[in-house]
Structure 1
């Protein structure tokens, strides 16, 4: 659907054009317009990074109509931006198979994605975590319903977007550069097209596991009437995907048993000494007991994810002349998901259990960390669980903006006002039945398994499972942002300083607010307060069906296994008694308000060093930020009674910074460009980390608090690169970048709450424990990240005429970093989300009416999370092959066939070492047939 482009450095004949437009991501119409047309256009400076005044009228959707021609135009346009950046532009609906915007971006140099059950969700730039990336739509920082600052790209339909630019070296005029980079998204406007535009596409996609066929429809209509133009676009998609998984197999520290009172702790110590020769010196020394680990839980799971995604844009433009333009833009959308999870699990670390027999252990694989892993163990009282979980998320987003472009004389004026908002409503339910009994659990090559013990088959004994609870949770997140910006550019012609071509300055104000409400409830009987069903009702008392009959599709794919559970539809009908509503907890409310005032100025210089033309953009941005955080703090009762009281609390914080930037390019020889950039930039902490709140993890004996005193993470960075343009439209490029990052946000132990009362799920007392308090803090010290990025775009006809129509588009990114994650056991850990290696390779063929592309995307392993702040859990390296073929019936209609995950790759993960897998997931192959009409 998208075609990769890159913004360009300037060649000598077009110095004047760059002096007008420098500092802005030349996306939208500018990116894929023909070079000779751009050279004739007069452009207006626009700080939004989305357009220039006249260039947006060029037709970017149908640039030559083919992937190869779009790549060829992209190499020409590479000379028009002094910065390091890459772009994708809407050219043909069948260019690449993808399910959302994240997957459309994954083929750009330095861009990788995070996948969740077969769907691309978040975007990583240059291997760095997603929270290091700034995202904006039409120059408005995008609201997110996630509660953080990272944007979930799966909510955006790529069909309603015109272009996406990943900017890797900022200028002072940019709102924020992002430590990894800045993703700037633009929607289409009517004067992007030089004539009336009407396009329609339809697609039907089949998933190999769910065996469902999902529809997707989209259209765009645009026209202009003299000085006026209007555009509307719309996209709607349905996705039904099933994922089968053997997962949830995490490390659990032996302190879970050793610190228990009574015989549980003494028996665990005795079994360790008898079967593994391990003598525990201090059963309450967590540094010792946390280095002896066993399986927390072994689970076989089936997920069914139903998604409805829609998006719409509208644009109204008034353009009476080439020196004046007014645009009104709107973007609306929704992303609703219902995920059913059916989980058969053995929770070996239950509150009743301890070690019985250690059949096998591993004291060598992790010996460098002083760790022993109990690989195969029998337990005295495993909690076998049948869990029917339902997650309903409804996300609505909207964006409205007005943009003024005016060019009186030597001045260029751009003004922007806008609003961006998102709301997410979440509803979670978990029907839980348990059966206690001895078991034997062990690791396997793909994950783990639980063996039958004492005549008990956990998968086929519904009468043994007792009802424990039907738990519900609700969450409501609102995110709103208002922005206003005024940008002025003045063309200069000074006799005493001829190199100074223009100056630019401006101001921007943003007001951002995020609120969150949360509540939970527990049903244990047929009415409010009733516990009549606890330990009396069994799983067999409810209607049961095999899980794959509930979800539909093929048999369980991970192993030869089948079991029966209660469907989530039946669970709602049976267990939610009339009038039940999950109560909101006032003590879980929080609100964060943030106001930012930015002032910036920069200058553009054009001069020659000998025969080498040089362009330099230099500037600085000052930011002044005020943050108000309010919520409730859970304080343990001081009168001696158990429990906590929610106490209102609020705090105001502020910080200021000056962020300089320098970008330059030079044409060293014919078609050989040198680029260089240096800057300071920042990423603000997630609002959920700033908020006053306390959450509890009863199984981990931990409180997690917010920290209103957090400061931004900052980075100093520079980059240098060479780009060689070939006469046949090809491109070879290489760049080296360096970043020094300070103030990385980490979770750290900041206190202990003694004697916390912990109850079992049935309300009985489990005991009194000391709970650790963790908070996000800005870590001390600075960390370095260096990397190499390579790009090769080559038509293979340069090798032999018989290869006409064949070509490759490939890129490779490699990182080396000293940045470490936070492991309380001092296990060397990269930061979460950082992959050291990634590459994309596309082979394409286009002749006459037929085209085909096969693309392979690879992302190296990365730390997904750090279990209990001790054990890094890795998402394994993953490579996926996608295929797209198209046949043009005539000048207006095209058929396409697309395949996502052609080789049906599994998603895998492990804890510290691949010898200890923690997940094995299969989400299947997706094959789609599409039709497009373009008039």
Structure 2
């Protein structure tokens, strides 16, 4: 159904949705209170449950023991870490704190862990919750940006790899369940204070971090507060942005550019293209689109705080209010010297070298060394100012009475995110020569007399624009949940130990506004700077002086550029602001109602104790998406509808699950699980809108009719629990994943007018229309996971204090063929193997750990839906050394990436690198007091 809705109607509808959510939340709370006495009257037995206390202090080996205890007691496949494990390892945020868990790896962005992968599957396949409430981060996807969360505020983390029916979402890869500390987690008053200073080897800056936790109980009441604040200044040097560009860019151009490209191809490479509009042919002739040398300076200011107020008159009742607030402010300066060979003025001049053998199996010819007639050389001073504020509030009820275990939850999770982007652009069109190098690419002076030294010709660069963008995102979620569990002792079915059932309602909404503007003169509507002001007319500095830290690490290279501070003060005239564009507005509302029922059985099979959990979850989801739809005006120009257009979508699912453990020997468990689960599509993909990429000649539409990605999965494994927290475990898992969301060509818009940045006509082109769709078919992922956690004194008394904590995950998947050229391609984000290895030693005073984390290569993106771009395999070594000055005060020395590994990537094969990036090593010195 489609309808036209005005802004006021949208606001009223959103208010109605929120009102309905609040009403259902309040109704759920009332039901919890009203139902409990009635349930108690029907029960004739009383069960008291001991409350497990997890301490956040203690030795590393003790934290491993606690994590193993949690793993053993869980009905499904899972792994956990507790706060000591986090505190004693070097990390910069919550993502990095989790990377040593079995099957968990992280995605890094300029040296910082940002998202997590479970069992090497893409990050969007992982469901994340904090205190049993799914977490908003403002990303627009289902993945959570972990870099916004401080690790000091957490108490424990469990990665649930086999879901139960009671879980909100199973997560195709797994569910990451984070818990913050509560006052009754401690058996006494607690005060923990820590401070740290960290040094980055490239930026040469020292970054502070401070945190504290205070907790106490007062009879039946308890209160806890924690706070963490950290700064981070990190520099990254990167020879990157090097990508494949199909020859259709030149061969489909109007005028002599196309004829010259065809002639040079035939003359220098012997390649004849009979039909220049045949994309299957032109997409297999590749040239180097851009070469960029970049310096990034990333300044972060992050804080996070939690508060918990708990009423607990006994072990059978507690009412807990949890609150979490935080902020993550980032200013990233990027200084970019780039050569765009595929400019609208350019074509081939001379092909010096080409490769027709490396990718011959795909029919691809790569022009590896080419001179171009009019390369677009660019000096770009970019600045991104990102601000994220997140908050989460929840009220949890835990009540055991007369054999009933009643749990209720109402909560809110929200994130407000803004990005202010600016790009000062100077351009010089001139002949040049670009080619691949061993670690990236380079642009040099060509044989053409008009060629320039792009790094040392400021008078040749003309001002084009000071581009600005402003984005604001609001991401909110309300939730209410009510669970009942009844312990049973039935004569006619003694194996049935308990039943559990419940209901959960969630209301999620994301709203996004976006605008862009270009400044081309000293006042609004003034374009006098364009083609009249040169780069030399601005205040220039050596880029390695603008960004602290010395020489450029990726090459023996330096150049002069405009600082972002100068650009912001000079080019933004008084009264300037970036307006929001109605065509870029969208909002997505999603409501989900889940009902589940489970049964727990305990019985003997062939004399072996068996625990079995079986359940089913029914989910009903409705989506309402709003956006301004693009239309073609009568004069042929592009425009948007006057009011937002809405579209509804919905889906209903029934998802079964089964988890079982068999104690085949003392401390040896056989564990098995089977389930069907889903991951919902990203809200950005559901949004009913159309966006345009002028450089790629592409429109991208949203799709409110998207369905979730589904997985049928099973797993079997053996776990041998040893003394002192040791464990050896192996499991084999299998997943059949279908409905993967991919961008697919769904139409073509002909004769679209495209203009250059200076307003001149570039030409008329056919624009492809892409849309996210659920791909047909499915692919299978199978894997093996191995865990070895061993205190080595079990081998020999002389090894007392030494231990090993290691895990390995190996995947095998059926190829998906998502490339438009039928290049066999694994799913984006999926790595074949990952492993973590930690060797540690500790005694009463001293502890030391060295850890190595490895992630195999994986497809980062499929460029233009044609060419798989890989992030190369990466391994990082971290260390941590601690010394207890007193029983309460500990001094620590930590190192991240101590071997200074580079991050690299390539298209299809390492012979065609796309990135060579350095973010340096990080050494920190800290002190922690525990009273």
Question: TM-score surpassing 0.5?
Answer: yes
The residue correspondences of 1:21-60 to structure 2 (distance < 5 A) are 58-60=53-55
Instruction: Quote the Cα distance in structure 1 between the aligned partners of 2:892 and 2:839.
Output: 17
User: CA offset at residue 728 of structure 1?
Assistant: 4.9
Name stretches of at least 5 consecutive residues in structure 1 with no aligned partner: 1-43, 46-51
Q: CA RMSD in A?
A: 1.4
2-side partners of 1:725 and 1:181: how far apart?
23
Aligned equivalents of 1:59 and 1:231: distance in 2? 15
Asked if residue 896 in structure 1 is aligned to residue 892 in structure 2, the reply is: yes
Pick from 541, 546, 553: which aligns with 1:550?
A: 546
Maintained 8 Å contact 2:815/2:824: no
Distance in 1, matches of 2:776 and 2:139, equals: 27
After the TM superposition, which residues 580-619 of structure 1 pair with which residues of structure 2 at under 5 Å, given as runs?
580-619=576-615
1:121-200 correspondence to structure 2 within 5 Å? 121-200=114-193
Instruction: Report the 3-state secondary structure (helix = DSSP H, G, I; strand = E; otherwise coil) of the residue aligned with 1:279.
Output: coil
Query: What is the aligned counterpart of 1:336 among 321, 326, 329?
Result: 329
2:64 and 2:81 in contact (8 A); partners too = no
User: Among 357, 363, 383, which residue is 1:364 paired with?
Assistant: 357
More deviation, 186-195/89-98: 89-98
Indicate if the aligned counterparts of 1:735 and 1:789 stay in contact, CA closer than 8 A: yes
Aligned mate of 2:851, from 851, 855, 864: 855
1:837 paired to 2:839: no
Equivalent residue, structure 2, for 1:505: 501
Q: Which residue of 2 aligns with 1:870?
A: 866
Once residues 645 and 396 of structure 1 are traced to their aligned partners in structure 2, the CA distance between those partners, rounded to angstroms, is 32
Greater displacement, 195-204 / 822-831: 822-831
Rounded to whole Å, the distance in 2 between the matches of 1:597 and 1:384 is 54
CA distance, structure 1, for counterparts of residue 724 and residue 331 of structure 2:
50
CA shift digits 1:346-387 (9 cap, x unpaired): 110000000000000000000000000000000001011000
8 Å Cα contact 2:541-2:561 kept in structure 1:
yes
Give ranges in structure 2 of 5+ residues lacking alignment.
1-38, 41-46
Counterpart-to-counterpart distance in 2, 1:632 and 1:641: 18
Structure 1, residues 503-542: CA drift from partner, whole Å, max 9, x if none? 0011111111110000000000011111100000000000
Which residue in 2 is equivalent to 1:9? none
CA contact (8 A) 1:57 1:191 kept: no
Look up the SS of the partner of 1:79 in the other structure. helix
Structure 1 counterpart SS, 2:184: helix
Deviation at 1:59, TM superposition (A): 4.0
Correspondent of 2:791 among 783, 795, 798 = 795
| Structure-2 separation of matches of 1:458 and 1:727 | 65
Q: Does 1:271 align with 2:271?
A: no
Residue aligning to 1:204: 197
Aligned pairs for 1:109-128 (under 5 A) are 109-128=102-121
Does structure 2 retain, via aligned residues, the 8 Å contact 1:626–1:653?
Answer: yes
Counterpart check, 1:762 vs 2:762: no
Indicate how the Cα distance of structure 1 residues 809 and 581 shifts in structure 2: closer, same or farther if over 3 A, else same: same
Which residue of structure 2 lines up, in the alignment, with residue 426 of structure 1?
A: 419
Give the equivalent residue in structure 1 for 2:406.
413
Distance 1:735 1:458, change over 3 A: same
- Output the TM-score relative to the length of structure 1: 0.93
What TM-score, normalized to structure 2?
A: 0.94
1:221-236 map, 5 Å: 221-236=214-229
Shift of 1:821: 5.5
In structure 2, what is the equivalent of residue 646 of structure 1? Answer: 641
8 Å CA contact retained: 1:467, 1:533: yes
Aligned to 1:690: 686
Question: Partner of 1:17 in structure 2?
Answer: none
Q: Could you tell me how far 1:77 is from its partner in structure 2?
A: 4.2
Q: Could you say what secondary structure the match of 1:536 adopts?
A: coil
Equivalent position of 1:633 in the other structure? 629
**How big is each residue's C-alpha offset from its partner over 1:385-443, in whole Å with a ceiling of 9 and x where there is no partner?**
00000011101100000011111211111111000000100111000000111000100
Whole-angstrom CA distance in 2 between matches of 1:518 and 1:196: 49
Q: How does 1:367-446 map to 2 (within 5 A)?
A: 367-446=360-439
Q: Does 1:717 align with 2:713?
A: yes
Q: Match of 1:251?
A: 244
The 1:261/1:791 distance shift into structure 2, 3 A limit, reads: same
Task: Note if contact 1:56-1:191 (Cα within 8 Å) is conserved in structure 2.
Answer: no
- Give the secondary-structure state (helix, strand or coil) at the position aligned to 1:299: strand
Q: Say which SS state the counterpart of residue 570 (structure 1) adopts.
A: helix
SS in structure 2 opposite 1:501? strand
Q: Quote the offset at 1:570 in angstroms.
A: 0.5
SS across alignment from 2:490? coil
Shift of 1:53: 9.5
State how far apart, in whole Å, the 2-side matches of 1:159 and 1:55 are. Answer: 27
Contact 1:405–1:412 under 8 Å retained in 2: yes
The residue number in structure 1 matching 2:15 is none
- Paired with 2:856 and 2:703, the residues of 1 have a C-alpha distance of 32
What is the deviation of 1:54? Answer: 6.3
Contact 1:703 / 1:772 at 8 angstroms: preserved in 2? yes
**Structure 1: distance between partners of 2:349 and 2:795:** 68
Does residue 460 of structure 1 match 2:456?
yes
